Structure 1
C-alpha cells in the first residue's frame, strides 16, 4: 500500500510561495535602489529635474484615475491637461464625486502597485506595457488639446516600445518596475506634501472633506496608508506569482510576442 502524506497546510504553502530566489532578490534590490534614488533626486537642486518627465507621467496616471472613474460612474470627461509645474486637471461632467475625487491618488497608487507586480517578470511587463499603452490612448484622446499631455504620452509610449527590442524586453521590466515604484511613491509624497506638510486648500482631499466631512489632512493620511499598502501588496504578489529565474524569464519572453534582439 502506497504511503500517504498529509496535505500541505495553507501556512506551509504561503511560506513556500514567498520564498525569495536569487532573481527576486535582485528585483527587490533594484526596488530599494529606486526608492533611495527617487528620494534623493526629489528635492536636490538641479538634479531633481531628472525625475521631471516621470513625474509628469505619474500625474498622467493620476488624471487618468479621475477620468476613467468618472466614465465608470456615469459621467463624461471633457478634457485632461498637464501643467509644467507638475500639476494637472481633469474637467469632468457628472459622475459620482465620492469615487472620482479619491480616484486620482488611489488610482495612480493602484497602477503603481500593478506595475511593480508586473516588474518582477518580463512577460508580465510586456502585458503591462500593452495595457498602459491602451490607457495612454484614452488619456491622449481626452488630452488631445494639451501639448504637454500629448508629449508626455508619446515619450512614454516611445520609451516602452524601444525597450521591447533590448534583450528580449529585459530592459522593459526595469522600466516598468521604475514607473511602478515612482507612481506609488509619488502618490504618497504628493498627499503628504499637499495635505499634511503644506496644507494646500485646493486639493482633491479638501474638496472631498467639504462634501463628505472630516478634514483634508485626515483623508490624506488615510489615502497615504492605502497607497503604501497597495505598493507592499504589489511586491508580495510579485514574489509569490513569479518565481522564474532570469534565464527562464528570457526564454518565456522569447516565446511571447518575440523581438529580434
Structure 2
C-alpha cells in the first residue's frame, strides 16, 4: 500500500513526490533509520493508547457498544478478505452480511478453503498492519483512504441486500471524506491509525472470544481444524501470533520510512491533492 503514494503527484514542484525524489542519499539513509523522533514518539504513544482503549472497551459489558461502528468496519475487512481470496481461487461470492455481536458471514461457492478460511483473520490483520504503517504519515494516510474506500464499496456491492452493511459502509466512507478537510487531513491520519490498530488485533481478540471465552464451534479456526487437522485452539494461536508479528513489523516500517515532522507532513499534504 505504501508505495502507492508515488503515483499521485501533481505539477507542483513542491509536491510530496518531488520532495521524495529530491532528497539526498544521506536523507534516504536517515529515512531508513530506526531512531525515533518526537513526531514518531507521539504516534507510538497514540498506538499504545489505542491498544489499551480498545482492549478495555472490547471486554467491558454495556459500554462495549461504543466500539460497534468500528468493529463493523473491521468485520468488513474480515469478510472482504474471505471474499477476495474466494474470487482469486476460482470461487464465487454470493453475499456478505455484518453483525457487530455475532460477526459477519460471507456466502461463497467454490474456491480453495485452505486459503479462504484463514484469509479472514490474516487478511484483516494484514490490512490493519498496512493502515498502521500509513498512519505514521498524512500523505500515506490519504492514499490509504482511497484503498479503504475501494474495499468498503466492493464490500457494499456484495452486501447490498443487508441494511446494516449498507449503513455501516456508507458511514465509513463519509467519515473518511470528512477527515480529508480537517487540518489538511491530519485527522485522517488518526482515524486510519485507529482502524489499523483495531483491525490488526481483531484476530487476537475475536479468536479469544470464540475459542476461549465463548467456545464457539463454528469459528474459522474450528472449520479449518475439521478439514485439515489440528485443533482450533492451535490454529487460532498461530493466526494470532502472525497478526501480532504483522503489527510489530508495520510499526518498525513506519518508524523507518516516515521521519517528517508535523509541519513537514502538513506541508506535504497541502501539495498532494490539496485540502482545506
Once the two structures are TM-superposed, the CA of residue 49 in structure 1 deviates from its matched residue by 1.3
Which stretch has the larger CA shift, 232-241 or 34-43? Answer: 34-43
Once the two structures are TM-superposed, the CA of residue 14 in structure 1 deviates from its matched residue by 9.2
TM-score when scaled to structure 2?
Answer: 0.87
Distance 1:196 1:102 in 2: 18
Contact 1:59 1:86 in 2 (8 A): no
Change (3 A) 1:24 1:58: same
Change (3 A) 1:121 1:16: closer
Distance 2:62 2:214 in 1: 22
Alignment of 1:118 onto 2:143 = no
Could you tell me which runs of 5 or more consecutive residues in structure 1 were left unpaired when the two chains were aligned.
1-12
Equivalent residue for 2:160, pick from 136, 144, 158: 144
State the partner residue of 2:75. 59
Once the two structures are TM-superposed, the CA of residue 39 in structure 1 deviates from its matched residue by 1.4
State the partner residue of 2:210. 194
Could you tell me which runs of 5 or more consecutive residues in structure 2 were left unpaired when the two chains were aligned.
1-28
State the partner residue of 1:216. 232
The 5-angstrom pairing of residues 33-44 of structure 1 reads 33-44=49-60
What are the Cα deviations for residues 82-113 of structure 1, in whole angstroms up to 9, with x where unaligned?
12524110000111000000000001011100
Q: How many residue pairs end up in the alignment?
A: 248
Once the two structures are TM-superposed, the CA of residue 227 in structure 1 deviates from its matched residue by 0.5
Alignment of 1:250 onto 2:266 = yes
Equivalent residue for 1:227, pick from 229, 243, 256: 243
SS for the counterpart of 1:152 is helix
Contact 2:74 2:199 in 1 (8 A): yes
Q: Which contiguous aligned blocks of 4+ residues in structure 1 show a shift greater than 6 angstroms?
A: 13-16
Distance 2:225 2:125 in 1: 20
Contact 2:31 2:259 in 1 (8 A): no
Once the two structures are TM-superposed, the CA of residue 42 in structure 1 deviates from its matched residue by 1.4
Alignment of 1:69 onto 2:89 = no
Change (3 A) 1:16 1:96: closer
State the partner residue of 2:256. 240
Distance 1:16 1:54 in 2: 32
Q: What is the aligned-residue RMSD (CA, Å)?
A: 1.4
Alignment of 1:162 onto 2:186 = no
Equivalent residue for 1:177, pick from 171, 175, 193: 193
TM-score when scaled to structure 1?
Answer: 0.92
Contact 1:120 1:239 in 2 (8 A): yes
SS for the counterpart of 2:255 is helix
What are the Cα deviations for residues 169-218 of structure 1, in whole angstroms up to 9, with x where unaligned?
00000000000001112221001221234332111111111111111110
State the partner residue of 2:10. none
Contact 1:199 1:217 in 2 (8 A): no
Distance 1:187 1:111 in 2: 12
Distance 1:75 1:62 in 2: 17
What are the Cα deviations for residues 158-177 of structure 1, in whole angstroms up to 9, with x where unaligned?
10100000000000000000
